[in-house]
Amino acid sequence: MRFAVYLPNCMNVAAITQPWEQHLTGQDIARVAQTAERLGYSMVFLPEHYLTPTGHVELSGNHYFDATTAQAFIAGATSTITIGSMVTILPLHNPVIAAKSIATLDWFSGGRAQVTVGVGWLKEEYDAVGVPFTKRGRIADETLAAMFELWHSDTPSFEGEFVSFDEVAFGPKPVSRPHPVVWMGGDADAVLRRAARYGDGWAPWLTKPEELPAKMDYLRTQPGFDGRPFSLFYSLAVLSIGQEHAVVDDPNAQFGQSAQQVIDNCCKLAEFGVTDTWVNPPPLNDFDAYLDHMQWVAEEVIPKVD
C-alpha cells in the first residue's frame, strides 16, 4: 500500500479541517510536502474550488486554491514526490488550457504530476463560471478525450460538442508516458465508467469501505478497461464527510490511536482492494504535532503494511 498526505490549510471543511491549519503559510505547506518526501510518502495532494456560495460557507469554507497552480508551487519546493490534486474540477477548465497547464506542471517537475478529475457538486460555482451544470459529465468526458489527443498525438485533431481543433501543434508533451497519472474522483456509476475508459485510478468519497470490491468489479467490466495497472485511493477520513460536506459523526472516521490499530485498519482497506491511502491525524494542537504524526506514521505504520 502507498501512503499519501493531504496537504493542510488547502481547504476549510468543517468536518475535517483542524483549527491550527488556518495559520499556515505557503512555506509551511511546502514544508509538509518536503517532510513527506523525506519520510518516503508516495504523494501529496490538495483540492480545488473557485468560489463558495454563501449558504455553503459554514460547512465548506472559502479557502481553496487553483489546484494546478498550487501543485506547481509544491513541485518547485520538492524533488521526487508526486504532486497530486484531489480533485481538479475539470469541466470548469477549458480543455486546451487544462491540457497545457497539466503538461507544463509535469514537464517542469520531471514527470511528477497527478490529477484526480471530478465534476463537482456546487451548481452555483458552475453558474458563476458560465459552464452548464447539467452537462458537466459530458464536458468531463470530452475534455479528457481532447486532453489525451493533445498529449498523445504528434498531429492532434479533435471534433467535439464543446471543443474542436485541427491542424495544430502541441508541445512540449508531458514527460510522463503516455500521460500524467489521472484518477477519477466521485461515487456515481458514471464516474466508474469514466475511470474505466480514461483513468489510472479511482478515488471515491461517499462509498463505504465494504462497497469497494463490488464497485471495482463493475469498473473492470466497463468498456475501455484493458486490465492496465489501476489504483484505488481510500481514506477513512471521508467517513466524516457527507453530502455537500455535511459533518458525519462516524466513529470509524479515524484510523485509530495506536500503531497497531492504524496498521489493522490499513490492512483491512487493502483487503478491500485499496492501493493508496492517507492516515488522517487525530485532533492535534499545532503544526509541530502534525509533523510529528507524519513521522510516527512513517516509522511505526508504513513499514508494517504491505
Averaged over 270-275, what is the pLDDT?
98
179: left (phi > 0), else alpha (psi -120 to 50), else beta?
A: beta
Averaged over 263-285, what is the pLDDT?
97
pLDDT digits (tens, 9 = 90+) for 189-212: 999 999 999 999 999 999 999 999
Can you list the domains of the chain with their CATH numbers? 2-304 (3.20.20.30)
pLDDT digits (tens, 9 = 90+) for 250-266: 999 988 889 999 999 99
Q: What was the pLDDT predicted at 120?
A: 95
Q: Chain-wide mean pLDDT for the chain?
A: 97
User: Residue 77 carries which side chain, given as an amino acid letter?
Assistant: A
Query: Is residue 122 very low, low, confident or very high in pLDDT (cuts 50, 70, 90)?
Result: very high
- 227, with CB counted inside 10 A (0-12, 13-18, 19+), is exposed
Cα-to-chain-centroid distance, residue 230:
15
- CA–CA separation, 32 and 26 (whole Å): 10
Indicate if the pLDDT at residue 306 is higher than 80: no
Q: Cα-flanking dihedrals φ and ψ of residue 113, to 5°?
A: -80, 140
Query: Is residue 302 very low, low, confident or very high in pLDDT (cuts 50, 70, 90)?
Result: very high
pLDDT digits (tens, 9 = 90+) for 222-255: 999 999 999 999 999 999 999 989 999 999 998 8
Q: What was the pLDDT predicted at 229?
A: 96
Q: What was the pLDDT predicted at 181?
A: 98
DSSP β-bridge partners for residue 84 = 45
pLDDT digits (tens, 9 = 90+) for 15-49: 999 999 999 999 999 999 999 999 999 999 999 99
DSSP β-bridge partners for residue 181 = 114
pLDDT digits (tens, 9 = 90+) for 124-175: 999 999 999 999 999 999 999 999 999 999 999 999 999 999 999 999 999 9
Q: What is the pTM of this model?
A: 0.96
- CA–CA separation, 78 and 56 (whole Å): 34
